[in-house]
């Protein structure tokens, strides 16, 4: 029976993504339960130094000019070939823009079941148990995949990253599949424009969602942010409405933030938003819906009306 855990390491602009370390840490735990090893796979060009900073049991990397930038077709081919060759027990990818670009196609190519939005994994007596967020995070579903192998797409911030850092034996391998006839080609990386405030550098964030009610109420959040000496951020509906610039958006299609304190007002906590703020040291959630998914990750919470609480907090802080 397959025992090893295969992890796709994500990287961009010469830096490994945090989710790489998160998945590696969990993979080592699973591998111990299955009696195998956590094997990280890094695809890129000139990535040996990155490979040497991954704390898996071992790291395999493919160095090819065709992998200088992320290419879903190339990644899919190589991963499918490696899976067929190495027969892992579990394949871990991020439930990120990169991972979700690969997940469905990889599942079809390998004929392996795929579990997405995963925020919990355990090896129980040789069986894999996965917990997955469904219906916008309102329900936690447990999946027990049939067969000996599966692909899991893990949510960012679901697992601690510390145990995934370090070093491991590194091996450069030849490309397990041809890359000279790709139909998908990288054209250009469009970086987000800089904003008036860099929310990724803020120690505290006052973040607002649909519960703010209307654009005219954003001033209440701004007044609290001013009193705290920090900035206002938001979930996607606020930026989609044009009430705040895109540079203030936290989440999968926005920015990932790791403040010391994240104050979430009127944010339900969809998986896409949680992906961008799970790394905050302390999360305080305010939402009138006591079953909102945001409370699953919050350290402190309240179910009062945010429009009443915001000015009261501001007044209290100002003294």
Q: Please choose, from the candidates 247, 245, 217, 249, the residue with its C-alpha nearest in 3D space to the C-alpha of residue 236.
A: 249
Sorted by where each starts, the structural domains of the chain and their CATH numbers stand as 5-172 (3.40.50.620), 199-318 (3.40.50.1220)
* φ and ψ of 273, to 5 deg: -75, -45
Residue 1 pLDDT greater than 60, yes or no = no
- What confidence tens digit (pLDDT) does each residue in 258-306 have? 899 999 999 999 888 988 898 899 999 999 999 999 998 999 999 999 9
Residue 161 pLDDT greater than 90, yes or no = no
317 vs 194, 225, 227, 230, 307, CA distance in Å?
Answer: 30, 10, 7, 13, 16
The model's confidence at residue 194, banded by pLDDT at 50, 70 and 90, is low
The model's confidence at residue 152, banded by pLDDT at 50, 70 and 90, is very high
Please tell me the total number of residues recorded for the chain in this structure: 319
Residue 154 · residue 167 · CB < 8 Å: no
DSSP string, 257-283: ---SEEEEES----HHHHHHHTT-SEE
The model's confidence at residue 315, banded by pLDDT at 50, 70 and 90, is very high
pLDDT value of residue 158: 83
Residue 155 · residue 27 · CB < 8 Å: no
State whether the Cα torsion 230-155-137-72 is positive or negative.
positive
pLDDT over 90 for what percent of the chain? 72
The model's confidence at residue 146, banded by pLDDT at 50, 70 and 90, is confident
Residue 165 · residue 157 · CB < 8 Å: no
Q: Please choose, from the candidates 82, 289, 282, 252, the residue with its C-alpha nearest in 3D space to the C-alpha of residue 153.
A: 252
pLDDT value of residue 225: 96
pLDDT value of residue 195: 67
The model's confidence at residue 5, banded by pLDDT at 50, 70 and 90, is very high
Q: Where are the alpha helices (DSSP H) in 59-180?
A: 72-86, 97-110
pLDDT value of residue 164: 82
The model's confidence at residue 167, banded by pLDDT at 50, 70 and 90, is confident
Residues 51-64 have a mean pLDDT of: 95
How far apart are alpha carbons 183 and 277 in whole angstroms? 35
- What confidence tens digit (pLDDT) does each residue in 211-225 have? 999 999 999 999 999
How far apart are alpha carbons 135 and 169 in whole angstroms? 41
The model's confidence at residue 166, banded by pLDDT at 50, 70 and 90, is confident
How far apart are alpha carbons 207 and 231 in whole angstroms? 8
**What angle separates helix 218-228 from helix 306-318, to the nearest 10 degrees?**
30
pLDDT value of residue 106: 97
The model's confidence at residue 116, banded by pLDDT at 50, 70 and 90, is very high
How far apart are alpha carbons 314 and 239 in whole angstroms? 24
pLDDT over 70 for what percent of the chain? 98
Residues 12-30 have a mean pLDDT of: 93
The CA-based dihedral angle spanning residues 116, 117, 122, 128, taken in that order and rounded to the nearest 10 degrees: -20
- What confidence tens digit (pLDDT) does each residue in 78-104 have? 999 999 999 999 999 999 889 999 999
How far apart are alpha carbons 73 and 255 in whole angstroms? 26
- 58 vs 138, more confident: 58
Q: Are strands 114-124 and 261-265 parallel, antiparallel or unpaired?
A: unpaired
């Amino acid at each position: 029976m397959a025992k090893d855990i295969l992890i796709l390491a994500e990287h961009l602009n010469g830096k490994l993504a945090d989710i790489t370390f998160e998945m590696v840490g969990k993979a080592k735990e699973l591998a111990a339960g299955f009696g195998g090893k956590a094997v990280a796979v890094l695809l890129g060009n000139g990535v040996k130094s990155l490979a040497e900073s991954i704390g898996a049991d071992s790291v395999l990397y493919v160095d090819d000019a065709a992998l200088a930038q992320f290419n879903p077709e190339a990644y899919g081919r190589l991963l499918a070939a490696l899976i067929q060759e190495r027969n892992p027990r579990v394949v871990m990818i991020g439930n990120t823009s990169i991972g979700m670009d690969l997940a469905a196609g990889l599942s079809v190519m390998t004929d392996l079941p795929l579990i997405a939005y995963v925020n919990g994994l355990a090896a129980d007596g040789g069986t894999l148990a996965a917990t997955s967020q469904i219906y916008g995070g309102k329900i936690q579903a447990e999946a027990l995949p049939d067969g000996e192998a599966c692909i899991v797409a893990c949510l960012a911030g679901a697992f601690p990253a510390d145990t995934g850092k370090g070093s491991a034996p590194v091996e450069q391998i030849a490309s397990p599949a041809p890359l000279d006839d790709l139909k998908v080609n990288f054209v250009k990386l469009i970086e987000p424009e800089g904003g008036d405030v860099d929310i990724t550098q803020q120690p505290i964030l006052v973040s607002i969602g649909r519960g703010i009610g209307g654009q005219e109420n954003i001033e209440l959040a701004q007044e609290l942010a001013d009193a705290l000496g920090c900035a206002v951020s938001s979930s996607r509906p606020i930026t989609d409405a044009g009430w705040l610039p895109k540079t203030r958006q936290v989440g999968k299609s926005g920015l990932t933030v790791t403040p010391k304190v994240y104050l979430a007002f009127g944010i339900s906590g969809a998986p896409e938003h949680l992906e961008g703020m799970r790394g905050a040291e302390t999360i305080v959630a305010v939402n009138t819906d006591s079953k909102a998914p945001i409370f699953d990750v919050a350290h402190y919470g309240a179910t009062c009306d945010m429009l009443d609480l915001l000015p009261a907090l501001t007044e209290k802080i100002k003294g």
